[in-house]
Structure 1
Amino acid sequence: MSIIHLSAVASQEPSAADLAGIELEWPLIAAELDLLDAQIAFINAGPYASPLETRRVRRAQRRVLEIGRELGDRDPETEGAA
């Protein structure tokens, strides 16, 4: 028995505004995926993690923060007018 009713979900298509929002946030999504990849590699390395793997995680974390800051600094009024 499923708790998710697919008929309710299947009839709802994303609007143009939803798709535009995803497109706007895609750089952040990609950066978060890169961070996740770096973290998984670091965890899998266990005690044998190299300084390069540590640096890769830190670099990915900084990139997520940079992109998040850029998205936060955008003015929604001007984004909608563009």
Structure 2
Amino acid sequence: MSDHDFYTEPTAADLAAIEAEEPLLAAEFAWAVAEVELLAAINRGRSCELDVRRVRRAEHAVIRETFALVNRLNRSPSPRRVA
């Protein structure tokens, strides 16, 4: 493999796949932030039910976005899944 093969630009299909996954990635990031904030609050000794609910809502958002992504991928025909 030459260096040129390794550093090629993403194709339009690659960019479309990244764009399709963006809501899930954002939800996963929000979940990680909520967990870090909860751990920081626990470390300070000032955690509350709101912190726990924030993590739970973020978890549910990740689940929702995962199902939404799977549904979007199943609805749109992919050039890679030609029968």
Superposed pair shares fold, TM > 0.5: yes
Of the three residues 36, 42, 48, the one matched with 1:40 is 36
1:67 partnered with 2:57: no
TM-score (ref. length: structure 2) = 0.76
* 1:11-39: CA deviation from partner (whole Å, max 9, x where unpaired): 22111111000001100010111101100
5+ unaligned residues in a row in structure 2: which ranges? Answer: none
TM-score (ref. length: structure 1) = 0.77
Seq. identity, % = 36
How many residues end up aligned between the 2 structures?
75
* RMSD after superposition: 2.3
Task: Specify the code of the residue in structure 1 equivalent to 2:50.
Answer: L
5+ unaligned residues in a row in structure 1: which ranges? Answer: 1-6
* 1:45-65: CA deviation from partner (whole Å, max 9, x where unpaired): 114211000000000000000
Moved over 4 A (4+): 7-10
